[in-house]
Amino acid sequence: MAALSSQTAVKKIEAFLKRIRKWDTEFLSIGHPEAFSVPKPDDILLRITANLDYFSVNYAVCLTLFALMSIVIYPQLLVMVCVFSGLWYGLWTRPNHIRLQVGAAFITKRHLMYALGTVNALVVFFFARTTIFATIGASFLFVLGHAGLHVVPANAKGKVSEEEVTEPGKACV
């Protein structure tokens, strides 16, 4: 059963990663300055939606890189990641049927997971909320800025309009 689910997970990850667009020619459009333009106010929401769908995997990679950079740059986050990773590893490697008796009550693995999750969330929120919210804000600003300013590629499913995918200077018929 575990081998079947891990094979399914690997296939899903492979299918997800196949959707990565080329970083140099499509995502960053190096050498194509016309790929970035300021949209009309009426078209901005459509452009953002189409680009979020088309570049979704690239944006996920960018968000992951933002998170990893913030963990490396701020040592406090790095210490918290190491400590809580060790605690979660210790809890996940315990057998599922583990039961601890505290007084008259029994505590199961599920109770320990809820408790560790709560402690984890409270500690992270208390000690690193500013860093985490700043990282989330910067990463989403980057994603929305790119999605709003990048012209929708011609081979995207939900093209915004004929006008945006044609080359500048050419008239639409």
pLDDT at 141 over 80: yes
**Numbers of helices and strands, H then E, in the chain:** 6, 2
Given this model, what pLDDT does residue 165 score? 45
Distance in angstroms (rounded) separating the CA atoms of residues 59 and 27: 10
CA-based radius of gyration for the chain = 23
Given this model, what pLDDT does residue 134 score? 93
Residue 152 — pLDDT band, cuts 50, 70, 90? confident
Given this model, what pLDDT does residue 156 score? 73
Count of positions (residues) in the chain: 173
State the average pLDDT over residues 67-77: 91
One-character DSSP codes across 1-68: -HHHHHHHHHHHHHHHHTTPPPIIIIIS-TT-GGGB-PPPTTTHHHHHHHHHHHTHHHHHHHHHHHHH
> Domain spans of the chain?
41-150
153 sits in which H/E element: none
